[in-house]
Amino acid sequence: MSRGWQGRDVISVLDFKREDLEELFNLTMVMEKYSRSRLNILEDKILALAFFEPSTRTRLSFETAMHRLGGSTIGFVGEEATSIAKGESIADTIRMLDAYADAIVIRHSLEGVAKYAAEIAENPVINAGDGTQNHPTQAMLDLYTIWRELGEIDGLTIGILGDLKYARTVKSFIEGLTLFKPSKIYLISPQSLKPRREVLTILDIAGIKYEHVENIEDVIKYLDVLYVVRIQKERFPDVVEYERVRGSYRVTLETLKNVKDTLIILHPLPRVDELDPRVDNTKYARYFKQAAYGVPLRMALLTLIFGRESKV
Ligand code: NCD
């Protein structure tokens, strides 16, 4: 049985069921109509945005979503702007945000911070990325884009290319895929960037077929979806290790010579050099559309968390 959305923390995609995501997707489609106008259903709500790590899309799409719904936001980017710089603990910072706002969105480089914050805060906590672990609302957005662009997720062959070791978006995307029935997942990366064992275990438990490959060219023709991520330079414990894999994969027009007509290419962004800008003008590119869906998706998410869906 689904527990529904109202008042829930969003720490990992696996806290949710397929029917929860389908409810979110259906409401997101309705929100697409309002994502360039206004729907005043959260006028009495304040969302706190606590970004201890850099962000463009996640932070600004949450902020835009809240404003489109008539709500307000408070927050900061970088702990140097907060009293943490004076020695205050994260726990005390969370207590303050919880006292001022009705929900908290948090991003931090440390794994488990969102869960820790959820234990402290009375109000819902939404994980906007904790180290290499989770980025659940990005995965919901990734899955929504596939569902919206291709009509379904079940039965698809999906390639995930890049830094599968450190990218939290990859872990969350894979977790999200286990709520559906993709026919096969190709994990495409250099040896040293293969997914961590814990991520493979998630696929094993779900019984989803997967295969490791090193070269995108070997499997591109089978794919319905190609999901690309950048090398997560800031997560490498050693720059030498980073220098060794730097530039080791790149999607170009050449890569796309022999693909399915219906292929879609996704990327959580930002991109660095792994995706040639010339690909942007092909019919396969959906990553900017994906980023744009971030507003209606987060509008739907906030509406559900605040239990206001009957007002839509
Ligand atoms: C991602 C992140 O922060 O994990 N960005 C995002 O939210 N779209 C991906 C990344 O930084 O590579």
Q: What is the pLDDT of residue 83?
A: 85
Q: Does an H or E element contain 211, and which? A: strand 210-213
pLDDT tens for each residue of 281-298: 999 999 999 999 999 999
Q: What is the mean pLDDT of residues 73-91?
A: 88
Q: Which residues contact 81 (CB under 8 A, 6 or more apart)?
A: none
Mean pLDDT computed over every residue of the chain: 97
Q: Is 57 in the pocket of ligand 1 (CB under 6 A)?
A: yes
Q: What is the pLDDT of residue 171?
A: 98
Q: What is the pLDDT of residue 134?
A: 98
Q: What is the pLDDT of residue 3?
A: 79
Q: What is the pLDDT of residue 1?
A: 61
State the residue for tokens 């109509």.
33
DSSP per-residue string spanning 89-138? -HHHHHHHHHHH-SEEEEEESSTTHHHHHHHH-SS-EEEEEETTTB-HHH
Q: What is the pLDDT of residue 81?
A: 79
User: Could you identify the atom of ligand 1 that is nearest to the CA of residue 232?
Assistant: 12
Q: Of all residues in the chain, what percent carry a pLDDT higher than 70?
A: 99
pLDDT band at 85, cuts 50/70/90?
confident
pLDDT tens for each residue of 205-221: 999 999 999 999 999 99
Q: Of all residues in the chain, what percent carry a pLDDT higher than 90?
A: 96
- What is the Cα–Cα distance from 280 to 270, expressed in whole angstroms? 14
Q: What is the pTM of this model?
A: 0.97
Q: What is the mean pLDDT of residues 240-252?
A: 95
For ligand 1, atom 8, the nearest C-alpha belongs to: 268
User: Could you identify the atom of ligand 1 that is nearest to the CA of residue 169?
Assistant: 4
Q: Is 229 in the pocket of ligand 1 (CB under 6 A)?
A: yes
Q: Is 58 in the pocket of ligand 1 (CB under 6 A)?
A: yes
Q: Which of 57, 58, 163 to mutate to test the pocket of ligand 1 (most atoms within 8 A of CB)?
A: 58
Q: Which of 49, 135, 234, 295 to mutate to test the pocket of ligand 1 (most atoms within 8 A of CB)?
A: 135
pLDDT tens for each residue of 127-177: 999 999 999 999 999 999 999 999 999 999 999 999 999 999 999 999 999
Which pair of tokens denotes residue 32? 């697409």
Is the distance from CB of 265 to CB of 86 less than 8 angstroms? no
Q: 279: CA distance to ligand 1 center in Å?
A: 20
Please report the domains of the chain, with CATH numbers, ordered by start residue: 13-134+292-311 (3.40.50.1370), 136-290 (3.40.50.1370)
Query: 140: buried, middle or exposed (CB in 10 Å: 19+, 13-18, 0-12)?
Result: buried
Q: What is the pLDDT of residue 135?
A: 98
Q: Which of 52, 132, 269 to mutate to test the pocket of ligand 1 (most atoms within 8 A of CB)?
A: 269
Q: 243: CA distance to ligand 1 center in Å?
A: 20
Is the distance from CB of 166 to CB of 132 less than 8 angstroms? yes
Is the distance from CB of 142 to CB of 265 less than 8 angstroms? no
Q: Which of 52, 60, 138 to mutate to test the pocket of ligand 1 (most atoms within 8 A of CB)?
A: 138
DSSP per-residue string spanning 160-204? EES-TTT-HHHHHHHHHHTTS--SEEEEE--GGGPPPHHHHHHHH
Dihedral sign of CA atoms 42, 66, 137, 235 in order: negative
Which pair of tokens denotes residue 114? 């969102």
- Answer left, alpha or beta for residue 283, where phi above 0 means left and psi between -120 and 50 means alpha: alpha
User: Could you identify the atom of ligand 1 that is nearest to the CA of residue 291?
Assistant: 8
pLDDT tens for each residue of 50-77: 999 999 999 999 999 999 999 999 999 9
For residue 86, is pLDDT > 90?
no
Q: Does an H or E element contain 227, and which? A: strand 225-228
For ligand 1, atom 11, the nearest C-alpha belongs to: 270
Q: 275: CA distance to ligand 1 center in Å?
A: 15
Q: What is the mean pLDDT of residues 83-102?
A: 92
CA-atom Rg of the chain in angstroms: 19
